[in-house]
Amino acid sequence: MSGNERKAPGSRAEREKSVDEIYERIYVAILEHRLHPGTKLGEERLADIFGVSRARVREVLARLAHEQIVELVPQRGAYVAKPTIEQARDVFEARRLIEPAVLRRLVDTLTPEKVTRLRQHVELEADARRRGDKRAVIRMSGEFHTLAAELAGNSSLARTMRELCMLTCLIIFLYDAPTAQSCRDDEHQMIIDAVAKRDRGRAEKLMLEHLDHIESSLSLDDGNGEADLEAIFRA
């Protein structure tokens, strides 16, 4: 085996690590509303900020586009997605179908450790609210739903929920849903209490009401397509 062949696996691992890290940085920036719907994600600028090639950035943007988080426009570039009203309704329709199934599976596979994980997450949410950390509140509110899907133990459900939660985050920002109204601070706790009691019916009812509250808080507004990418990622 040549020296180059021995180095190949490490190089590939490093490349994948870099792609994952850049993906996660952009994902969290969108989730925390630091990157707005419609923001252009310039390849050259991002490559400079993250110290990687434009090809690496394109790989990340393609992955985000596959998840409908980013839109790739021919001859124009990549933009943070701006879901339409129709797409927003589709997202909530999908969530109403999927999240009750998530809770049913979670109840069926419930362990004390899973309940503890959920309660710890909600406590972190509450702490962020007490500190007035709006970005953390936004991020953790979305992550609650993703965590529930992960704990349910179905990787396909978890992956789908991650994408739907991100799209919901964009919708909330785009249509100016106030966080305090769109994700009430006691609703996650009530859902966990029902799950802990293995009350599937109540857990599902509470989740559907929770989604209704989020959707009903939406109002039409215009997104802002400009952002200082360097300030966002080098802060």
Segments forming the whole domain that contains residue 190: 85-216
21 and 135 together in one domain:
no
Residues 6+ apart with CB under 8 A from 163: 67, 68, 69
d(CA 186, CA 87): 28
d(CA 231, CA 235): 6
47 and 134 together in one domain:
no
pLDDT band at 181 (very low <50, low <70, confident <90, very high): very low
Can you give the CATH number for the domain in which 47 is found?
A: 1.10.10.10
Question: Within 13 A of 59's CA, how many CA atoms are on the CB side?
Answer: 14
124 and 136 together in one domain:
yes
199 and 115 together in one domain:
yes
189 and 102 together in one domain:
yes
Residue 209 has pLDDT above 90, yes or no: yes
77 and 144 together in one domain:
no
93 and 194 together in one domain:
yes
Residue 5 has pLDDT above 60, yes or no: no
Residue 66 has pLDDT above 60, yes or no: yes
42 and 90 together in one domain:
no
Q: Which amino acid is at 103?
A: L
Is there a contact between 143 and 168 (Cβ–Cβ < 8 Å)?
no
Residue 2 has pLDDT above 60, yes or no: no
Structural domain count of the chain: 2
141 and 207 together in one domain:
yes
96 and 194 together in one domain:
yes
The pLDDT score that the predictor gives to residue 194 is 97
d(CA 186, CA 189): 5
CA–centroid distance for 36 within its chain: 13
d(CA 118, CA 115): 5
How many residues are given for the chain?
A: 235
CA dist 127 to 28, 49, 132, 214, Å? 19, 32, 9, 21
pTM to 2 decimal places: 0.78
- Give the containing element (helix H, strand E) for 71: strand 70-73
69 and 105 together in one domain:
no
208 and 110 together in one domain:
yes
pLDDT band at 18 (very low <50, low <70, confident <90, very high): confident
Can you give the CATH number for the domain in which 204 is found?
A: 1.20.120.530
What is the per-residue pLDDT across 24-48, written as a single tens digit (0 to 9) for each? 999 989 888 889 899 999 999 999 9
Is there a contact between 174 and 83 (Cβ–Cβ < 8 Å)?
yes
Burial of 178 (0-12, 13-18, 19+ CB in 10 A): exposed
The pLDDT score that the predictor gives to residue 42 is 94
Is there a contact between 142 and 31 (Cβ–Cβ < 8 Å)?
yes
The span from the first CA to the last CA of the chain, in angstroms, equals 44
